[in-house]
Every structure is written in C-alpha cells, then in structure tokens.
Chain A
C-alpha cells in the first residue's frame, strides 16, 4: 500500500503565543515548530499499516514555509520512506482550501492508495484540508477515524466515534482519512535514525510549480484579520442569585453564550 501522510509543523506545546506586529496572525519568530499531536498519531498509524502490509511505503508530505523540512525529517526519523516539501506561497497565506489545492496538485503526481492526515491541525484546527483534498482528487474521505486497519489490498476498516455512538465502517482504496488523536501511542525516533534522517533527501516542489496547477484559484479566500490572546484575568464576574436554581440557570447561560465552553 502506498501511504501518504500529510503533516504540518505546529508550535511546540509549551510555546508562548504572540501576535505579529500587524496583529493579523500568530508570530512564527522565536517559536519552535515540531511534528506533534494529530499528525504524530497519523505518522504512527501510517507506520503501523506499513508494518502490517509487507511491501508498503510511507511518504510524508508537507505544505508550507521552509520549516516544513524539519518536520519531514522528524517523520523520516520515525520511519517514513520518503518526504516531499510542497513550498507554500511566499506571502504566507493560511487559507486551508488553498493548502488543499497545492497538496492535491502534488498528490496527483505521486502514488497514493491511502492519504492520512490528522483530524485537524493543532494550530488552526480547521480540519478542512483532508476533505478538500479528497474532493479535488475525486476519492472518498473520512474524518475523526480511530482504529484504522487494512482489510486486504484494496480496503480499510475503521471506527468513528460520533455524537450518536461509535460507527464501524468499511471503505475502499484510494481514500483520504483524517485521524482522531491519541488512540495510538506514537513511537519515538531512535538516535541513529535521527542522524540518518538529517542526510535523507527531501523532494521539494516549488511554489510556482504548484501554483500553475492552482491557476484556477490561486487567490486566498480565507484571510486572517486578527489574532488575539485572552486578556489576563482580572477577577471573577460574580453571579448574583437568590435561589440555587437561579444560580444554576445563570451560570449555564453564561457558559453557553458568553464563555462558549458549555459542552
């Protein structure tokens, strides 16, 4: 099985986020970008499938600025066989549909039975890219997948936890799968493999090349306007009430409508 795994460098968990001076997006300067979260699970899943199906290969593909290279090397150190960096637009648009177009254009030129991604990127959390790629390639896609297994050379089975319960699916190849995080325990790279990964070749697809494939729609349609960090806490908003019922009703309303954290 030719497995393509899509990865995106995201800030290390403990990074201190800041906005760029123009306030439109997150400041990449001074941030360490890593292979993490959903994507790490996706690489692990790709490797597990490869190990269960002799003759399979794993190809890591990343779209974006130069920092993609480090993340791809991390995937190689973990066991990916090949890596491709699809260079992002110089102006740094972060429209996920545009990213999907660039990736799909690249995927058309490489073998792929299964395209794996995280269910969403750990930074923008859009979750748009896997489905958009599938639509562009004209193949089925499934998000929020867990327990992905191969069922022979041309099919997959997997589970999908939804609001209604856990669904069990069978799907044909080729297809795109977005994985839920942390159902597997991603492995760590061995030091000798880390050293080898430094010397591994990384195929670079230049931006102008991808953009020609993108001629139809090279313009971003989703544009970051403002990036805000929560204001430091200034003390609680005290909720006045006469009865416990009133307290409960007011709190639930605030959590739903103001804080927007009600499940």
Chain B
C-alpha cells in the first residue's frame, strides 16, 4: 500500500507556506487583483523566507526541495493568490534549464549570486508566432566569433518587466526545428534587450507578463546551456519538472473555492433553511470535493514519481491537465453557489475562476497535455 502520510519536515514546510500565504498574501490578494499591482514587497519577503528558489540546491543558495515539497508549498500559496504564486514560482521555471543543462561552473557562476539576493528570472520560450509548437520557434541565435547574437521576440513572459536573468531558447537553423534549438543564459542588463508593456490580463493580475525583444543581444558561448542541439530537450525536460507544481497551484485555487462555498452554503438561507440543506447544493459540494481530492492525489503521485526518478511525463501531464480542469470547474460551481454575489467583484470567488483559467493554458495548454498523455499511453500499446 502506498503511504500518504507526510513527514514532519514536509508538514512543517507546508505550515510555513500556509502561514506566509494567509498572513502576507491573502490580505492583499483582492487589492492587487483589482489594481493589477505587482506586490514586490511580498515577493521580496517570499525570497527572504526561501519560498522563491525552491528547486535550486542549497549549495547554490536555493531551498533544495523535492517535487512533493514544492507541490505542498505551491498549493498553500495558491490558496491565497494564484497570481502572486505564478510570480513567486517563475524563478523555478526559469532556473530549471540551468539546473538541467548547466555545467558545475555555470551553476555556481549564475545561480549562486542570483539566489543570494532578491532577484527574479524569466523563462523565455513562447513567441508571438506560436507557443504550443515550441519546435517552430523563430528567435534566432547567430554564431558570431566566440559567441552568439540573439534576435527575435518572446511573449507572455512571466516577470518579464522585472527579471534580472533570462533563460532563452533560440534557433540556429529554423529548418532543423527541434534539432536546431539552443538554450542560453542572458543577464537582464545585456544590451539589446527591450521589455514590452505589462499585459492587462484576465486573471493572475498580481503577476506581470510582457514581451521581451532581443535586438542583437551578444552572448558568449560560456552562456550556452549544453550543446547547440540541446535546447529543445532542455525546454521539454524543464516543463516535465514544472508542470506538476502547476497542478498543485490549480489544486490550491480549487481548495479555496471549495472552502468559500462550503462556508457560504451554511450561512446563506433560502426557503427558510441554509442552502447547504438543499440537496442540489450538497451534490455540487460533493462533486467539488471529489475534484479537489483527485487533483491533489494526482499531483502528489506525479511529484512522487519525479522524486523517485521514475519517468513521469505521463503522470505530470495527467496531473496538470486534470487539476487545472478541476480548478476551473470547481471555481465555476463556487460562483453558482454564491448566486449573484458570486458574480460580484467584492466576493472572492469570481477571481478564483479567472485565476483557474490560466492553469489550463500555460506551461503547455491542456490540449497539448492530452496529446502528450495519449502519445505516452499509446506507446504502451503499440
């Protein structure tokens, strides 16, 4: 039988994240959502407590946590605010390529000073011409003496306006598709980087997202991760690692929607009784609880597979896809349970629905997750 109990370490990490989320993030979630404010003071504090570079080994100044620990923390943070969580964990996404593809020297050169202070990093894969079809990216890396010159545009880059470090995927030869892609470490102050305006988003409004244009940015070859052909594989392996925490992020949003709904259903009266006493509402709550539980367990299972070094592409795709679909469905039902109030911005549940939506789109859309799932599945038969 699998053992679902958490170790005391895991419990205390989760408690610490919960405390931070409820004390620091939750009180500002509505305000930041309304005004699309990027709450730097919260991110700075998250960094101080070690909630930011979760996946970076302690020898480089990160928190050195496994996938399951990351999931426990991310779920707690997202319970308070999905948008802030996206910005807090963007460093994990952006630094993972260095962890996977970097040499020991590159890691200590780039990760150690980065983690020692409050810094944000961005992962630059998506382009205006296409996100899902990553192999078709158009940002060019041209060889130039002992280095490369980058030119092209990336879009929807989380923390783009604030990042001091980028990991960038660019092609040496677009005709080679995935075989022509290389990955680069690009410092935020490199000449030729042009940051776009902060996008006005439906949800995750406490996070910031922009385009990043590379106008002839010179990069020495010491800042290339792996070989000139390794970029695509580094990107895909990165997403294999970071998809699972997105499942946890979605689970946190769903849990918040369920908690709000259950409490409200006990307070709100109609036809002379609490709406929780109407069976139609009970069935909704039961379905929501099922979705939340399943999302959490799938996420934990995928994290467990990663932590045990098992192949986990299938598990992480299933977890991310299921949890994000569940989050949207649960948030939708939460609004329904709140009735007209649910539709009002003064109440917390409509934000949950807007925040949940993104989890179906980023870090590989759910269509792509289903393609991956089917491919992995059919491989077992064919």
List A residues at the B interface (Cβ < 8 Å): 34, 70, 73-74, 77, 188-192, 194-195, 197-198
Contacts of A192 in B (CB 8 A): 50, 58, 63-64
- Residue in B closest to A189 when the chains form the complex, CB atoms: B16
Q: In the complex, are the beta carbons of A195 and B9 less than 8 A apart?
A: yes
**Main SS of the interface on chain A?**
helix
**Main SS of the interface on chain B?**
helix
- Residue in B closest to A74 when the chains form the complex, CB atoms: B12
Q: Is B43 an interface residue (CB 8 A)?
A: no
Q: In the complex, are the beta carbons of A191 and B8 less than 8 A apart?
A: no
Q: How far is the CA of A65 from the CA of B12 in the complex (A)?
A: 19
Contacts of B50 in A (CB 8 A): 190-192
Closest Cβ of chain A to B347, distance in Å, is 21
Contacts of A194 in B (CB 8 A): 9, 12-13, 16
Q: Is B215 an interface residue (CB 8 A)?
A: no
Q: In the complex, are the beta carbons of A73 and B12 less than 8 A apart?
A: yes
Q: How far is the CA of A77 from the CA of B49 in the complex (A)?
A: 11
Q: Is B117 an interface residue (CB 8 A)?
A: no
Contact code string B10-25 (vs A, CB < 8 Å = 1, else 0): 0011011001100000
Beyond A34-B15, A189-B16, A190-B50, 13 additional pairs, beta carbon < 8 A: A70-B8, A70-B12, A73-B12, A191-B13, A191-B16, A191-B49, A191-B51, A191-B63, A191-B65, A192-B63, A194-B12, A194-B13, A195-B13
Closest Cβ of chain B to A85, distance in Å, is 15
Closest Cβ of chain B to A173, distance in Å, is 32
**Which of B49, B54, B63 contacts A189, CB < 8 Å?**
B49
Closest Cβ of chain A to B198, distance in Å, is 29
- Residue in A closest to B7 when the chains form the complex, CB atoms: A198
Q: How far is the CA of A34 from the CA of B16 in the complex (A)?
A: 11
Contacts of B15 in A (CB 8 A): 34
Contacts of A77 in B (CB 8 A): 12
Q: How far is the CA of A103 from the CA of B49 in the complex (A)?
A: 32
**Which of B12, B19, B64 contacts A188, CB < 8 Å?**
B19
List B residues at the A interface (Cβ < 8 Å): 8-9, 12-13, 15-16, 19-20, 48-51, 54, 58, 63-65
Q: How far is the CA of A34 from the CA of B64 in the complex (A)?
A: 25
Q: How far is the CA of A48 from the CA of B84 in the complex (A)?
A: 30
Contacts of A189 in B (CB 8 A): 16, 49
Closest Cβ of chain B to A33, distance in Å, is 11
12 examples of A-B residue contacts, CB within 8 angstroms: A34-B15, A70-B12, A73-B12, A188-B16, A189-B16, A189-B49, A190-B48, A191-B16, A192-B64, A194-B12, A198-B8, A198-B12
- Residue in A closest to B19 when the chains form the complex, CB atoms: A188
Closest Cβ of chain A to B88, distance in Å, is 13
Q: How far is the CA of A116 from the CA of B48 in the complex (A)?
A: 27
- Residue in B closest to A198 when the chains form the complex, CB atoms: B9
Contacts of B58 in A (CB 8 A): 192
Q: How far is the CA of A73 from the CA of B58 in the complex (A)?
A: 20
- Residue in A closest to B64 when the chains form the complex, CB atoms: A192
Q: How far is the CA of A179 from the CA of B50 in the complex (A)?
A: 29
Closest Cβ of chain A to B265, distance in Å, is 18
Q: How far is the CA of A198 from the CA of B9 in the complex (A)?
A: 6
Q: How far is the CA of A77 from the CA of B54 in the complex (A)?
A: 17
Closest Cβ of chain B to A124, distance in Å, is 23
Q: How far is the CA of A197 from the CA of B8 in the complex (A)?
A: 11
